[in-house]
Amino acid sequence: MENLIKAGLVQKTYSPTSGCSACGSISPPQADGVCILGNDPTRPAGSALSAGGGEGGKKWLRGAALAAGGGFFLLGMVFTFSPAIEWGLFLASCLLAGGEVFLDAVKNILRGRLFNEMFLMSIAVAGAIAIGEYPEGAAVMLFYRVGEAFQDYAVGRSRKSISALMNIRPDFANLKVDGGLRRVSPEEVKPGDLIMVKPGEKIPLDGVITEGRSSLDTSALTGEALPRDVEPGNEVLSGSININGLLSIRVLKPFGESTVAKILELVQNAAARKTKVEQFITTFSRYYTPVVVLAALGLAFIPPLVLPGTGFFPWIHRALVFLVVSCPCALVVSIPLGFFGGIGGASARGILIKGSNYLEALNTIETVVFDKTGTLTKGVFTVTEISPEKGYAPEELLYYAAQAESNSNHPIALSVQNAYHGGGGRIAGYEEIAGQGIRVTVDGRKVLAGNSGLLDAEGISHSLPDVPGTVIYLALDGVFAGYIVISDELKPDSKEAILRLKALGVKNIAMLSGDRRGTAEKIGKELGLTTVYAELLPHQKVEKIEELEKNGTGGKLAFVGDGINDAPVLARADVGIAMGALGSDAAIEAADIVLMTDEPSAIPTAMGIARKTRRIIWQNIAFALGVKGVILILGALGIATMWGAVFGDVGVTAIAVLNSLRTLRFSRHP
């Protein structure tokens, strides 16, 4: 349990009279009366994950003391000595292995905290020695500490991916000043400043490349091993590693708002949001332990007083067995460790879950609602079709469209300009017609470029193609010349994501879009979506979410989006999922889960991780309660020995903890 305290996996409530029940500090916690165990409330927020980091020497001493205690125990068990020497060997074994436990028990008693595993172990061991059961008393303490070593190993494994995320925090930035470079803290750099990132260094802040080309290792952010090539004009995220080129970057955000800072904050605060199962176990152990202690006292003293011909020693022995096996460590340790492992395993795949309650909520998802642009599609408009009328060439059509759109910064206009790679023409009489398009003269020819309404207003007959995307109609000198289709491509894994969600039993998969109905419905049909809602304003998306929730059958609803206008919907849904790499800050802030890969297929992966985590946790609960229940009954009847009690506590805890480690291993497909 102490290892969980250091890892910050469990939380309890601060009491003004007795201090923090987790770390013992009398100082008030920083927020909401909650303290992450092992995290001194006087420390800066978010330091729980680094708690206990300077204990290398203490761990070595503990290991040496445990080994020495084990040696004395083996000597006493294997060889025959006089009673005095035997007593000394087992006592030495007990003190070396469990001296820290006894000391912590005394400290807890002085703080008014009686009913915890330290108290139970100390009373059981002291009682066993008092009635002459020296080997059993030493075994209880020795194996209890061995069980803690298993916990320590398990905590280390479960935090491995989290620790890797902690390492993405940059230590410095090379700030360009007066023609040179000055190494500064990332917090000192301001938006607009220029920084230099050399090969092998981490990008310290979010920004846009002004000079240089390179490949970036983004695996710590996205879980994707394939390097990403970048060039001037590309935006880059803090925490990425520059592999081979020298990059000059103009900073876009201060460090506190950068991607790396937000990831660290998400991970550090994840343990503070507990599931109902964790809350139940915390409450259960709070009442369960004192009840067990009172039951053990009754078992030790009531039967000898009411049953004739029975002595105190056999019943005290039964009570000690009862005390040892009743310790709730297996549940208190393995359940938060399982959720923490699930969160860590997800983060290694670029899925950042803000709390174990959201991980648990993924198990009951009934409806998944997607935004379209930037979520199911790439969010980048490109020219996908050029359809000229007879007598015109595609290159000619693209030329006149690019000249007409040359003065616009609209995404549609920019996509046409990017598709055209030739030179400029002679432009005159430029006129933008609101809601319709552009009238302009190019190289002496009158050009109309816009929607069908523009050509209708000019009395020019034209075809109306049924194609997905935005259509730019062109007329030259009053004659319809053809059209250009601008559309947003589907992400490569969008269809796979929908198929996997259906395989997981998601009943309703919907899409909300502000696009025209024809375009949205074609995409919905291509992906196999259940429902498509089109031509929606931001507030209407919230209304549709509420409507879908109202028509549901009790399961939870998840919304997946990436834009600023998605933030209200993300906050309104039971589980909000944001695309983190390209998504807006507002969307990431409002979301409960952030997908750093920007891949829709990460959603069924997250659901698979959640289901495996829940399965493992319930295995631990059933196993721990079942074994402990049997041994408690056998102990009360005088059948179970102290060795059985040791297995019921340490053995069950070790097995449950090792089982929890399985949450770290997950194949991509559920």
Residues involved in catalysis: 371
Closest CA to 506 of 432, 607, 415: 607
Closest CA to 529 of 556, 549, 499: 499
CA distance 194 to 179: 11
Identity of residue 412: I
Render 25-53 in DSSP notation, one character per residue: --SPPSBTTEEETT--TTSPTT-GGGTTT
- Sheet containing 11-15: order of strands: 19-20, 11-15, 34-36
CA distance 564 to 514: 13
For the chain, the maximum distance between any two Cα atoms, rounded to a whole number of angstroms, is 120
Instruction: Look up residue 205 and give its DSSP letter.
Output: S
Residue with tokens 């993300």: 570
Here the tokens at position 469 are 């995307």
Q: Characterize 350-385 residue by residue with b for buried, 16 or more Cβ atoms within 10 angstroms of its Cβ, and e for exposed.
A: bbbbbbbbbbbbbeebbbbbbbbbbbbbbbebebbe
Render 65-131 in DSSP notation, one character per residue: HHHHHHHHHHHHHHS---HHHHHHHHHHHHHHHHHHHHHHHHHHHHTT--SSHHHHHHHHHHHHHHT
Ramachandran sector of residue 39 (left: φ over 0; alpha: ψ -120 to 50; beta: rest): beta
Asked if residues 572 and 590 have their Cβ atoms less than 8 Å apart, the reply is no
CA distance 445 to 426: 10
Identity of residue 7: A
Closest CA to 141 of 158, 129, 156, 130: 129
Q: What value, to the nearest 5°, has the Cα angle with vertex 27 and ends 23 and 30?
A: 90
Asked if residues 249 and 235 have their Cβ atoms less than 8 Å apart, the reply is no
